[in-house]
Structure formats: structure tokens, C-alpha cells
Structure 1
Amino acid sequence: MTSRLSRYLSVLFLQRLFITLFGMVTLLGVLDALGNADLVPDGAGLVGQVRYMVLRMPILFDRTFVFGLLLAVLLTYASLYRRNELVIISGSGLSVFGQVRALAPAVIFVSVVSAIGIDQINPVASKALEDWLGTSVLRENSQTPERVWLSDGRLLVEVAGMQNERLSGLTIFERDANGAVIAVTTAGTASPVAGGWRLEDTEQQRFDGRTPQNDTFWSSAQTPDSLHLLLTEPRDLALADLLALHRMRGSGSRPASAYLLWALHRISLPLAALAVLMLAVPIMQLYGRRDSSDIALARGVAAGFVFMVTDGVLKTLAESGRFSAPLAVALPILGLALAGLWLALGREVQK
């Protein structure tokens, strides 16, 4: 009976998860495309808007998955309550923890598949957006640096953006052996060539008494691929790249903890999904005639908003290096799980 009930609950949950995520991602995709219509090149028309929306959908899916999963569990139990099936399930002797165990395999499966899909698809979508519209389209909040800084030997290099493997807005600071800046070279654009980058529209100022030179070549091991990783939002990178950038020192405008943060976030997605399940199931345990699934649903949504806000604040602090990355990932999940455990124990006592 338990296996049959588990299959029944899993089917209900997966149906509502698909509908919820599809609706949320589609709606947000349309609103995002309309709000950023100025980013699409003139003349692209409807085809350009649709292309932008499609490329943004994997990124929006990543941002909404956990909340969509919470809504799916809440809607699953709301439908059970309205068909009086929840009372039957409880009357059969299946506890709150038993219901969590019944749904856990489906939740874990979906979250693992989603984490793998995000890891494989998001970097491709981000790269396509960058090549088409430039790196500015990937900046989502004020925490994202508008320019990236690179340490390249005795050079400090500031890059404004990149599109189609072509850099724009370069400023190269040349230092002496003591670290003092002895020359500043600006370049409008730079194109990759063997052994470095060819600079265009250059201008140089020197502070060591030597005659300014018209340098047109930046010798560097940096490639378009490596600069793409540094210019992209860490959340949209693949797990392997996040771990590699976390170990790298001396390049990039973000602290290494930013890359560790989103690597841990990606790995912990199934745990976050289980914590959401642990909270949602006891919230929706309704047995009396006066119980209202709408009120319980609203409570679940409110709890989800509190989780998302707390999670966002801690991750913002950790991304800037002002808070521990492991704690920023673990504390919201642990808080959600403990709240769910407390509610589950309370429901068992009421029964």
C-alpha cells in the first residue's frame, strides 16, 4: 500500500511541479523580455525577442526552481485536502514523516536532474547571450562588477566587456618591480591573436620619464574562454569552472568565496529540496472541517518567501566576502529543515 501511495503522491506532485515551473518561467520570461527589450538589437523584431526569452529561460528556471517546488508540494496537498484524501491517508496510519518519505524519492530525483540540467545548460545559454548582446546583459544586480580586473604579471588590466571574443574598454596599468605604476595604456578594443591580444585605438601615458609608446599588443595567457568565465555571473557557470575559479588567485573582481558559494549552492540543491518538502508537508496537514487549505497554502508561501529572502541576504554577503560561504548555504536549509521538523512533531502530537 505504501509503495502505491508513494507512486500516487509522486504523480500528483510531478504534474503540479511541471505546471508550476512552466507557468512561472514562461511568465517571468515574457516580463523579462519586455523589460529588457532595449537590449535586443534594433531590427531584431519578434524573432529577436523570442530568442532572448528562450536563452533566458534556463537562467530563470534556476532562480525559481526551489520556490516552484515548494508551490508544487503545497498544491499537491491542497488537492488532497479538497478531495478528502488527506484524512484517509492520515486515517490509514501514515504519519507526517511517512508522507515525507513517500514523496522524498520524487523530490530527490527532480532536484538532482534539475541540478545537472542547470549545470550543463545555463553556461551554454549565458555564453550565447554574451556573444549576442555582450556581457552587460548578464549583470543582474548591483553586486555584479561592471568591469573585471586582471592581474597579469606586472600588469593590472581593467576590462569593460566582451562580445564575440572581442574585448572593449581596456585600461592596462604597467608596474615596476616595486609595484608602482609607471604607465597607463587605454585601448578601445582588443582582439585575440597568438600569444595575447591585438589592441586598437590605443593611447599611453607614462610616469617614468620615458617617451609614451603606441603599444598595439598585450602579451597574455588570458584567452577568450578564460575571460568569459571571469566576466560571467558565478551562478551561471558550470560546477567544474566554479571549483577551478575558487582555487585560482590573482585574477578577477570577485573574491574566491563567490565561486565556492555557488558551487556549494549547486551541490546542495537536493538538500534544499528535501528541506522544502520537510516544511511543506506538515504545514498542509489539515483534518478538521474548519481547516482551510487556502490559509495553509498562504502560510506555506509566506514561509517560502522568508526562506528566499534570508537565503538571498546571506548569499549576497557571502558573495562579497563578508560572510562564510558554507554557512550562507547551510543555515537557510538547516533553518527550513528544523522548522519543518518542529511542525511535523507538533502535528503528530495533535493527532
Structure 2
Amino acid sequence: MQQFHFFPSRTMALYVGRMFFIRTFAILFALVLILQTLDLLGESGKILAVAGNSDSDVWRYVGLRLPQIIETFLPFSVLLGTILTLITLNQNSEVIAMKASGMSAHQVLAPLFLAALLVAGVSFAFNERIVTRATASLSAWQKVDYAQVPTDNGIRSNIWVRAGQDLIHAGRVETGGPELRLADVKIYERTGGVLSGILSADTARPVAGGWEMTDAKRFIRRSGTVEELGTIIAAKGVRPDQFTLAQVKGDELPFPQLKSAIADLEAAGRPVDSLKGVLWHKISGPLSAILMPLLGAVAAFGLARSGKLFVRAILGMGLGFAYFVADNFALAMGDLGAYSPFLAAWGPFILFALIGEMILIRTEE
């Protein structure tokens, strides 16, 4: 009957889970301490070189950079913590004792799966509540080379909007006045995906039924002529808020806000596939912690005295690092549009889950 219980022993589950937590967060603490120190050595000079900055600005940088380092290296810490836990259990013949009592390989790993799931939940909440805000603040600060971040003047530049087949480009969007105004406006009119003309105007403002364009001109591609139109109403059905959508960075927004921003951008006719990949990776990224016990399981089984324990540990680390490489590669392909958003976010997770399960079944089950 023990084979049908996911946790045959509550005591054993608590023992293994505690070992995993201690080792994982000890490794994370060491990695974060070393990497934050090295990062600070390179950035502190730039921060203090700005007139008016002091030691408090250095500590401000630490407070903003630290969450990013934790987010990046928590999965690595889970991998190393898993392998170290399994090596310890194997060296002490505890894995042999568990299997001799009738436990399967999956039951031996079950406490690690549960502990990794808890880590994944903490990681997701930490990323949503802290990392996104810190990333947005640090990005804005670094854009001005650690000087004082200026207030928003309400001006956007180089904005593109899709309206059916037509493409609208606004050289400048002014949002600070009583009404939104566009400057240096061009509407690329297309028929069947082919450019038929370019409607341009110095300025445009929203009115009932569309946009009032002043000093408008239309270039007709087929004849190569320019037609003077004066003040006209064009771009019907285009909302003003489609021009005020700022550039969205997925790592600076929590999941609900990013999902809403994607919907707005999609309605405005802007490409959103790369952002959809980032959106779903906000879930698949933290869940990668659950893969680590499966990929590191090769270090748990086999006789420690056979002299191959170190080789199995290296193999487990190799599988784990291969997953991280594949994950980053898939996200890059998603940004380029070569992978679909689902494949970019979930492809490596599913692939390495199958690889880990296959290795575990063929060797131990």
C-alpha cells in the first residue's frame, strides 16, 4: 500500500524538505552577497560621479538591484540546493534505506517537489510585488545615468498606430494640454496590403467622427502627384488613447497590469507576441523550481561508493543549466517572432520535464 501514497512518511518528508530549504537559501544568500558586491564595485563609481549623489544613493542602488539578483539566481540556487540535498542523502545511504522500505523514486523526490512548489509560489509573489517595481525604478534611474529622474513632460515621440490596413505615424504626441494633439502626422493608406497613398498633416486633434488634420496633403502613389486638402477629418474610429500607450516593458509590470497593457496594445494594432511570451514566462519562470528535483534526481540514486557520485552530480547540474540556456534561447526566439508566445514560455519547461521523467523512469522505476 505504501506505493500508492505520495508521502509514505510525514517525518521523512519534513526531514528532506528542511534539508532542501536550508541548502537552497544558504546558497542563494552566498550567491547574492558575492554578486551584489561585484556589481556594486562596477556601479558605485558611476553613481558617486554624479554631482549631488552620496552614499545614500549607493544604498538606494543596492535596494533596487538586490531584488533583480534574487530573481535571476533563485532558480540556480534551487538547482544547487536540490543536488546538494540528494548527494547528502545518497552519501549517508538514506536513499537506499528509503528504497529498501518500499518507496519508489518518485516518492523519494516527493518532498522536494512540494518544497520546490512552495519556493515557486514565493518567487512568483516576490517578482510581482517587489521585482517589477524595483526594475521600473532602476531602469528610469539608469536612463539618466543615475542623475535625478525628470518629471514627465507629457510629450511622446515616434508613435505608431494601426487602423485597419492603414498605418498612422505621429512624430510627436502632446498630452500635457487641455486636449491631446498630434504633430507631424502621416497616414500610410494601404489597399490589399499595398501602399496606395500617404496622407500627411502638420497637426491633428480629436473631434467627433475622427481627427481634424490641418494643412493636409495626400501623396498618390500611382500617379506620383501631391494633392492639397487643407483641413479635413480623417482616421475615423481611431481613439486618442491609442496614441498615449507608452512603450511596455514586460519585466516592469506585474501579471495583471501586463495582461491589460497587452490587450490595449493589441487593440491599437501594435505587435504583442513578444510581450505575450514574457507574460506567460512570469508563470513558467517561477515554476521551473519544480523541475530542479527531477533534473537533479540523477545525483540521488546509485551507490555512493561506486565512485560515480560526483559524475552524477555534474550530470544533474548539466541538465539544469541546459534548461536555463534553452529557456533564455526560447525567449530570445520569441522576441524575434520565430517562436509563438506559448512555445517561447512553456516549450523548454515541457521538454525538460519529459527528459527528466524519462531519465528517472528508465534508471530507477
Q: Which residue of 2 aligns with 1:295?
A: 311
Letter aligned with residue 10 of structure 1: G
| Alpha-carbon distance in 1 for matches of 2:65, 2:260 | 25
Contact 1:73 1:280 in 2 (8 A): yes
Deviation, 1:313, is 1.0
Letter aligned with residue 260 of structure 2: A
Deviation, 1:54, is 2.1
Contact 2:28 2:73 in 1 (8 A): yes
Superposed, which structure 2 residues align to 1:140-289 within 5 Å? 149-151=158-160, 154-157=168-171, 173-175=184-186, 178=189, 180=198, 182=200, 221=241, 227=246, 230=247, 232=249, 234-249=250-265, 255-269=271-285, 271-289=287-305
Contact 1:123 1:236 in 2 (8 A): yes
Larger Rg over CA atoms:
2
Letter aligned with residue 326 of structure 1: F
| Alpha-carbon distance in 1 for matches of 2:300, 2:172 | 53
Stretches of structure 2 that go unaligned for 5 or more consecutive residues are 1-7, 147-155, 177-181, 190-196, 207-215, 219-225, 229-239
Letter aligned with residue 198 of structure 2: A
Are 1:7 and 2:14 counterparts?
Answer: yes
Contact 1:55 1:125 in 2 (8 A): yes
Alignment TM-score, normalising by the size of structure 2: 0.70
Q: Which residue of 2 aligns with 1:32?
A: 39
Question: 1:235/1:86 Cα in 2 relative to 1: closer, same or farther (>3 Å)?
Answer: same
| Alpha-carbon distance in 2 for matches of 1:252, 1:40 | 39
Deviation, 1:19, is 1.1
* Stretch of structure 1 that moved more, 44-53 or 244-253: 244-253
Q: Which residue of 2 aligns with 1:48?
A: 57
Deviation, 1:118, is 0.4
* Stretch of structure 1 that moved more, 340-349 or 175-184: 175-184
Stretches of structure 1 that go unaligned for 5 or more consecutive residues are 138-146, 160-164, 166-170, 186-194, 196-205, 211-219
Question: 1:39/1:240 Cα in 2 relative to 1: closer, same or farther (>3 Å)?
Answer: farther
| Alpha-carbon distance in 2 for matches of 1:319, 1:148 | 23
Contact 2:82 2:293 in 1 (8 A): yes
Contact 1:158 1:172 in 2 (8 A): yes
Question: 1:21/1:5 Cα in 2 relative to 1: closer, same or farther (>3 Å)?
Answer: same
Are 1:17 and 2:24 counterparts?
Answer: yes
Letter aligned with residue 336 of structure 1: F
- Kindly provide the CA deviation profile for residues 46-99 of structure 1, in whole angstroms up to 9, marking residues without a partner as x: 433332122012122222222221111011112223333233223222221112
What SS does the aligned partner of 2:159 have? Answer: strand
Contact 2:160 2:243 in 1 (8 A): no
Name the count of aligned residue pairs: 299
Q: Which residue of 1 aligns with 2:129?
A: 120
Q: Which residue of 1 aligns with 2:221?
A: none
Question: 1:21/1:155 Cα in 2 relative to 1: closer, same or farther (>3 Å)?
Answer: same
Letter aligned with residue 58 of structure 1: P
Q: Which residue of 1 aligns with 2:71?
A: 62
What SS does the aligned partner of 2:41 have? Answer: helix
- Kindly provide the CA deviation profile for residues 74-128 of structure 1, in whole angstroms up to 9, marking residues without a partner as x: 1111222333323322322222111222222211111012111101112211232
| Alpha-carbon distance in 2 for matches of 1:306, 1:158 | 45
- Kindly provide the CA deviation profile for residues 316-350 of structure 1, in whole angstroms up to 9, marking residues without a partner as x: 0102222111012222111211121122112325x
Contact 2:82 2:112 in 1 (8 A): no
Contact 1:254 1:320 in 2 (8 A): no
Structural RMSD (CA): 3.6
Q: 1:330 aligns with which of 346, 350, 357?
A: 346
- Kindly provide the CA deviation profile for residues 202-234 of structure 1, in whole angstroms up to 9, marking residues without a partner as x: xxxx99999xxxxxxxxx64899x53xx253x1
Question: 1:31/1:347 Cα in 2 relative to 1: closer, same or farther (>3 Å)?
Answer: same
Alignment TM-score, normalising by the size of structure 1: 0.72
Question: 1:324/1:14 Cα in 2 relative to 1: closer, same or farther (>3 Å)?
Answer: same
- Kindly provide the CA deviation profile for residues 128-170 of structure 1, in whole angstroms up to 9, marking residues without a partner as x: 2244333788xxxxxxxxx9852369542479xxxxx9xxxxx
Q: Which residue of 2 aligns with 1:319?
A: 335
Contact 1:148 1:231 in 2 (8 A): no
What SS does the aligned partner of 1:150 have? Answer: strand
What SS does the aligned partner of 2:331 have? Answer: helix
Contact 1:149 1:252 in 2 (8 A): no
Contact 1:112 1:269 in 2 (8 A): no
| Percent identical | 23
